[in-house]
Amino acid sequence: MLLCSKFTRAKGLLQATDLCLTEGENSKRFGQITVNLKQLSKHLKLSQTTVSRALNGYPEVSEHTRNRILKAAQDLNYRPNTRAKGLATGRALAIGHVIPVSNQHEMVNPVFGDFIAGAGDSYARAGYDMILTRVPDNEVSRVYHDIKARGNVDGIIVHGPVINDPRISLLSRIGLPFVVHGRSTDVNQPYSWIDVNNRGAFERGTQLLIELGHRRIALLNGLEHMDFAFRRRTGYENALRNNALSVEPDLMRSEEMTEIFGYRSARDMLDREDRPTAFVCSSIITAMGVRRAVHEAGLVLARDVSIVTHDDALSYLENGDDVPIFTALRSSVRSAGSLAADMLLSLIAAPQSGPRTRLLEAELIIGRSTGPAAT
């Protein structure tokens, strides 16, 4: 143990580096410069209670003492230990993001990055930590139980909901506050979610192409067990039906939304006799693949082939500048992340206030990838 006299510099401000830590194995483990509440209160010749109250804004401490305490805390660079605080309060001050990983095709969707960024900014503002866990999708339920029991999180964001997602009833049962990014068709109990109007967006996008005279319109969708993709297909089909056009299975594909998926699908379809004159894509990355195939086939975008795509407004895949490259249904996944986080935080603050929901509308942006169908 370190042995040293008490605070030697009686007058003058005690510098953090001067502190002698006589207790706390932890504090010494890495030779860290850290005061805890006990040391702080001893230094102030006050009780831990008073110091704690002053720091947490409770009223029963005089303004004079509070200022003294705040000053000292600042000078000594005091930060309450999260774990201890969590233990005492029963709150973790952290939010969990559990990202299901399919062991079939485990991909890292760039959308997560932006969503997480948006959410992270909200957490930072609220003083919450974000803890991330990637879990094989067949183990998700076990992990939720774990998370609950291990108590290191106050709430959870549910990513990538599928149709009739079992996680929703599981989390309700467990009693862990959560917000779903997306919705889950066929779940009939109430729950909190934030989602883009995927059906509406794709109906609108398809309608636009139809109005431009396109009759053979392909859909390059995400995996359709995912709820968002299911909804998008519904929107696409609705538009076709509303205009008395037939829904043709060989114009519809559903896969992970990679560039290569867009390329291959478009290459194959454009090779056919009755090739489509337009594509509706679920991702700007897929749309890029389509564009590549279009070029390679010696065709010209907007003249020979039109593309409408969903655009998550990812910063590295910005859809052009003043003039958008692709005609797109834009909805920033990043701001969705931020909103989801805020929603969850307020849900945690007022648990009995019941589920909240928020439907965002995608913005239709006309770019240089659409034009009238060649006659």
Candidates 188-196, 237-245, 288-296, 303-311: pick the segment binding a second copy (CB under 8 A): 288-296
Is 223 among the residues that bind a second copy (CB under 8 A)? Answer: no
Is 124 among the residues that bind a second copy (CB under 8 A)? Answer: yes
DSSP secondary structure of 49-88: HHHHHHHTT-SSS-HHHHHHHHHHHHHTT----HHHHHHH
Is 257 among the residues that bind a second copy (CB under 8 A)? Answer: yes
φ, ψ at 193 (rounded to 5°): -150, 160
**CB-based contact 221:233 (threshold 8 Å):** yes
Nearer to DNA by Cβ, of 23 and 268: the residue is: 23
CA atoms within 13 A on the CB side of 56: 12
Among 6, 9, 11, 45, binds DNA (CB under 7 A): 45
Separation between Cα atoms, residue 348 and residue 346, nearest integer Å: 5
Nearer to DNA by Cβ, of 151 and 320: the residue is: 151
* Total residues in contact with a second copy, by rule CB under 8 A: 72
Helix pair angle (198-211, 227-242), 10° resolution: 30
Separation between Cα atoms, residue 168 and residue 183, nearest integer Å: 10
Separation between Cα atoms, residue 105 and residue 101, nearest integer Å: 8
Q: Please give the residues from 119 up to 148 whose contact with DNA meets the rule CB under 7 A.
A: none
Q: What is the 3-state secondary structure (H, E, C) of 268-289?
A: HHHCCCCCCCEEEECCHHHHHH
Q: What's the farthest any 2 CA atoms get from each other in the chain?
A: 92
Is 92 among the residues that bind a second copy (CB under 8 A)? Answer: yes
CB atoms within 10 A of CB 287: 30
Separation between Cα atoms, residue 297 and residue 127, nearest integer Å: 53
Separation between Cα atoms, residue 325 and residue 314, nearest integer Å: 14
> Distances from the Cα of 66 to the Cαs of 57, 75, 88, 113, in angstroms?
9, 14, 22, 41
> What order of strands is seen across the sheet that includes strand 363-365?
252-254, 217-221, 278-281, 306-311, 327-330, 363-365
Is 186 among the residues that bind a second copy (CB under 8 A)? Answer: no
Q: Please give the residues from 53 up to 82 whose contact with DNA meets the rule CB under 7 A.
A: 53, 55-56, 60-63, 65, 78-81
As measured in angstroms, the least distance from the Cβ of 93 to a second copy is 9
Nearer to a second copy by Cβ, of 95 and 251: the residue is: 95
Is 334 among the residues that bind a second copy (CB under 8 A)? Answer: yes
Three-state DSSP at 371 gives coil
Candidates 44-52, 169-177, 267-275, 343-351: pick the segment binding DNA (CB under 7 A): 44-52
As measured in angstroms, the least distance from the Cβ of 113 to a second copy is 4
Residue 152 interacting entry, from DNA, a second copy, none, C-beta within 5 to 8 Å by type: a second copy
Nearer to a second copy by Cβ, of 110 and 182: the residue is: 110
Q: Please give the residues from 27 up to 66 whose contact with a second copy meets the rule CB under 8 A.
A: 29-34
* Total residues in contact with DNA, by rule CB under 7 A: 33
Nearer to DNA by Cβ, of 79 and 105: the residue is: 79
Among 15, 82, 138, 185, binds a second copy (CB under 8 A): 82
Is 200 among the residues that bind a second copy (CB under 8 A)? Answer: no
As measured in angstroms, the least distance from the Cβ of 281 to a second copy is 13
* Site map (CB under 8 A) of a second copy, residues 311-330, x = contact: ---xxxxx-xx---x-----
- Residues forming the site for DNA (CB under 7 A): 23-27, 36-38, 45-50, 52-53, 55-56, 60-63, 65, 78-81, 84-85, 87-90
